[in-house]
Amino acid sequence: MKSVIAKDQMVYIEERPKMDILPSYLMIKTLYSAISPGTELSLISASNAREISLGYSAVGIVEECGNEITDFQEGDIVACYGAPYVGHSEYLCVPTTLCAKVPIGMDPKEASLAGIGAIAIHALRKAKLAFGETVVIVGLGLLGQMIAKVAHAAAYDVLAYDVQAERGAMLKEESEITSFSKLEDMKEEINVRTFNRGADAVLLCAGGKRSTLTGQSLEWIRNQGKVVIVGDIEPDFPRELMFGKEAQILISRAGGPGRYDPVYEKQAVDYPYGYVRWTEGRNVAEYLRLVNEKRIKINSFITEEVNIDQAPAAYKDLTDKKSKTLTKLIRFR
């Protein structure tokens, strides 16, 4: 089977043997997978002499079920999330805890972004916002835009910022969210919206190890407000501002509880629903519900697709910023 890998900072298509089905796993024939530029371009840069499998969000048709599985059956269309089980590969062997059925009639292309959707949903859950509170989204790449749309659907008062004005315009087209490309304009609007009290939370979705936006985010929040680090930013917050506002600094890890837990993922042992309401798998399902019920629109994310054999060129376009879209879908049929 064909798989997309990175090595020596280049992207290749590699032939790999098809995996054997495991108990509590699904064998999925992939229809589409979504490129997550922020994560994957970083992996490519760090690949050097070792091979790294790329991708973590996909959709496909269940071809075979492991022993004792009753919630899925052959022929189901499912979204799945989470490396190393999910990647840009023709076949995927995925624990059931990382899968969710795609609603009948939903476009599989939309479902292929379920992993990105789960990460966005979990980031908002980390902020623990209440209905009507004000949240600022900083960085309007693929993940930042997804977070902004979910926040808007949840009836939070959403403001967004990106230095690239065209990204804000893309967001406004589908969601009417107010966005800014100048820091002073953002600050002024926050003051107007909150009567000079400050935003309830800022979600930092921008990249860059060191960023002035970390300190800026503390200026934007209210007393006892929150800053949630979602993007690849090194925490570097001025103590005086943190102390003065008794601010909470939080980090959002991937798609939710269960991520990186070998019992939940590798052994496919789910957490009890009554104790852990929103696992990474349940966040995947929630993303599917939001899109299927038209609570969020993601049309701008699914405008470009390539065949798996064209994947290396697609990554080069994203690296060289020749593509105006925020992601590309890889097609396997």
Residue 38: pLDDT band by 50, 70, 90 thresholds?
confident
CATH superfamily of the 2-113+257-331 domain: Medium-chain alcohol dehydrogenases, catalytic domain (3.90.180.10)
What pLDDT score was predicted for residue 210?
62
Q: How far apart are the C-alpha atoms of 298 and 321, rounded to whole Å?
A: 20
Quick check: 297 pLDDT over 70?
Answer: yes
SS3 label, residue 220: helix
Please state the rounded mean pLDDT for residues 272-286: 97
Residue 192: pLDDT band by 50, 70, 90 thresholds?
very high
Quick check: 331 pLDDT over 90?
Answer: yes
What pLDDT score was predicted for residue 104?
96
Quick check: 184 pLDDT over 90?
Answer: yes
What pLDDT score was predicted for residue 209?
61
What pLDDT score was predicted for residue 51?
92
What pLDDT score was predicted for residue 180?
94
Domain 120-251 adopts which CATH fold?
Answer: Rossmann fold (3.40.50)
Please state the rounded mean pLDDT for residues 260-285: 97
Q: How far apart are the C-alpha atoms of 300 and 167, rounded to whole Å?
A: 11
How is residue 269 written in tokens? 């042992």
Quick check: 101 pLDDT over 70?
Answer: yes
Which residues is 15 bridged to in the sheet? 2
User: pLDDT by residue (tens digit) across 102-125?
Assistant: 999 999 999 999 999 999 999 999
Total count of residues recorded for the chain: 333
How is residue 69 written in tokens? 């599985």
| Domain chopping of the chain, boundaries | 2-113+257-331, 120-251
Q: Look at residues 255, 254, 219, 251 and name the one whose alpha carbon lies nearest to residue 234.
A: 251
SS3 label, residue 136: strand
Share of residues in the chain with pLDDT > 90 (%): 82
pTM of the model: 0.95
What pLDDT score was predicted for residue 106?
97
Residue 236: pLDDT band by 50, 70, 90 thresholds?
confident
From the centroid of its chain, how far is CA 237? 25
* 140 Cβ contact list (under 8 Å, min separation 6): 148, 160, 161, 162, 164, 167, 168, 170, 171, 179, 205
